[in-house]
Structure 1
Amino acid sequence: MWSLAKGANDADGRIIATVTFVTFTGMVNFYRPFADHLSVICKPLYDLLKKNQKFIWSGEQRVAFEKVKATILDDVFLVFPDQQKGFTIHFDASEYGTGACRQQHDSDGNLRPIEFFSYKWNKAEYNYSTPDKKFYGLVLALRHWYKWLFGAEQNIVVYTDHKSLRDFSKTQLLKPRHARWSSVLEDYRGRLTIRWISGKKNVIADALSRDPRFVLTVRKLEERRSTQVLPNTL
């Protein structure tokens, strides 16, 4: 996960590794209350975050990392969807892709994960403006979970850290693709609510949208920046 990306130099690799690692541990902290001994399992990982600690990825960290992944993806940790309950979706979109987590509240009122979703932008989608990426990220999540969400008996609440998504049609010059995306939202008219949360609280979706496999080399980034599409607003 934190190996050096092809085409990047050692400095690039260290920066990518450190940032990705911090994102991952933030996601783990969010789910720590739901897994026994997760703090103990994560100790070799947390030690790397200490002040003045060198980032050295050894066998001990690798074992801890694999155990954490197995714990989070365990059938006991993930809950089975209940169509009589409402669904909650946290999603985010980054420069490289989008990610989302479908959740429901357990008997104690805690949000528990049902399924994770992530998607890497293709060449055309990479050039979308930030508002478009956010909008399309939501559409992709709704499409991915359509068979579960469309038949749900209760309302669906979507959390995002992008405020303008709630008033997209009022702030953006609409294009044909926006009409296609809006048709997906129409299937949930009256049952879907979009709520804003701060970025620091949207840790799960943020981590999924920044999957290190999505990261481009410096050369590819420079090539694509020259064709970046800007928002159609003044």
Structure 2
Amino acid sequence: MEGYSPTDDNVRAILHFPIPNSSKAANSFLQMVGFYRKFIPGFAQISSPLNKFTRKGFPFIWTDVEQSSFDQLKVAITSPAVLILPDPSQMYIIRTDASRVGIGAVLLQQPTSNNNTDSNISSYKPVAFASRSLKSAEKNYSAIELEALAIWWSITQKFRSYVEGQRFILETDHKPLLSLMKKPYHNSRIERWMTMLQQYDIIIKHISGKDNTTADALSRYPVDKPDAIE
């Protein structure tokens, strides 16, 4: 795909996604990729070796067969069939999530070919993926601080060049965040981030956890280290 390469910042969080070392990790990866299954030809066959890890209590054994499935799915989710080039004329959607080890985000758009006739949330395609591990101090943050950090970081540090100057949608599965953009929150750290976000034209929406599997997986298995200047 023109404009993308295996070392591109937009896909590094996927291409360097760590090899699963547990059934939980394998299942998290499979749920993330599975969200885009309708865009991946042969998804059922490719993912078949990993499906057993979705069954509770199934022993974790990782062989060349599972590795091949894992590698093929990483290539598939970053292929032109799934990953799309940004279209400034279309609305951007950012989904974020946080865990106790990292923060993750995905930038999405609805393909122009859909002509906006399909409003189904699964019709969105990814433009870029991002993840980073937490700094030492951030590991002491409360849950809502981590979720707010993920929002601030994704918008101002990762996807700013896409969304600055235009209205976009921010989607989160953490309901307490819905009020952060609308009223003061008595936390200096969160207040600072929210003040910085006031320059952006954001529509914030709540989504279910099952629709946020990409950001969730990226936050649990982050690739990048935090920048010192953040």
TM-score of Structure 1 vs Structure 2, range by shorter chain:
0.7 to 0.9
- CA–CA distance in 2 between the matches of 1:66 and 1:148? 29
- Cα deviation 1:68-92 (Å, max 9, x = unaligned): 1011112442100111111011111
> What is the aligned counterpart of 1:72 among 72, 77, 83?
77
> What is the aligned counterpart of 1:208 among 215, 218, 223?
218
Return the offset for 1:213: 6.4
- CA–CA distance in 1 between the matches of 2:186 and 2:192? 14
Question: 5 Å matches for 1:219-234?
Answer: none
Q: Which moved more, 1:84-93 or 1:205-214?
A: 205-214
Q: Does 1:196 align with 2:206?
A: yes
TM-score after normalising by structure 2: 0.78
Please tell me whether the aligned partners of residues 133 and 222 of structure 2 are also in contact (alpha carbons under 8 angstroms): no
> What is the aligned counterpart of 1:150 among 156, 164, 188?
164
Please tell me whether the aligned partners of residues 102 and 222 of structure 2 are also in contact (alpha carbons under 8 angstroms): no
- CA–CA distance in 2 between the matches of 1:50 and 1:99? 25
Q: Which amino acid aligns with 2:219?
A: S
Q: Which amino acid aligns with 2:164?
A: F
Secondary structure of the equivalent of 2:210? helix
Matched length: 197
Question: 5 Å matches for 1:26-175?
Answer: 26-50=31-55, 53-106=58-111, 107-108=113-114, 109=118, 110-143=123-156, 144-152=158-166, 155-168=167-180, 172-175=185-188
Q: Which runs of 5+ in 1 are unaligned?
A: 5-16, 215-234
- Cα deviation 1:122-162 (Å, max 9, x = unaligned): 0111111111111111000001111111144xx21111111
- Cα deviation 1:6-29 (Å, max 9, x = unaligned): xxxxxxxxxxx1211111111122
Please tell me whether the aligned partners of residues 89 and 102 of structure 1 are also in contact (alpha carbons under 8 angstroms): yes
Please tell me whether the aligned partners of residues 23 and 54 of structure 2 are also in contact (alpha carbons under 8 angstroms): no
Q: Which amino acid aligns with 2:178?
A: R
TM-score after normalising by structure 1: 0.77
Structure 1 pair 162/171, CA: closer, same or farther in 2 (3 Å)?
farther
- CA–CA distance in 2 between the matches of 1:113 and 1:131? 25
Q: Which moved more, 1:143-152 or 1:128-137?
A: 143-152
1:228 corresponds to: none
**Of the two, which has the highest radius of gyration?**
1
Structure 1 pair 54/39, CA: closer, same or farther in 2 (3 Å)?
same
Please tell me whether the aligned partners of residues 164 and 171 of structure 1 are also in contact (alpha carbons under 8 angstroms): no
Please tell me whether the aligned partners of residues 83 and 151 of structure 1 are also in contact (alpha carbons under 8 angstroms): no
Structure 1 pair 100/212, CA: closer, same or farther in 2 (3 Å)?
closer
Q: Which amino acid aligns with 1:187?
A: Q
2:3 corresponds to: none
Secondary structure of the equivalent of 1:140? helix
- CA–CA distance in 1 between the matches of 2:41 and 2:106? 21
Structure 1 pair 182/54, CA: closer, same or farther in 2 (3 Å)?
closer
Secondary structure of the equivalent of 1:209? helix
Q: Which runs of 5+ in 2 are unaligned?
A: 1-17, 225-230
- CA–CA distance in 2 between the matches of 1:3 and 1:114? 24
Using the aligned pairs only, state the percent identity: 31
Please tell me whether the aligned partners of residues 23 and 53 of structure 2 are also in contact (alpha carbons under 8 angstroms): no
User: RMSD value over aligned CA atoms?
Assistant: 2.1
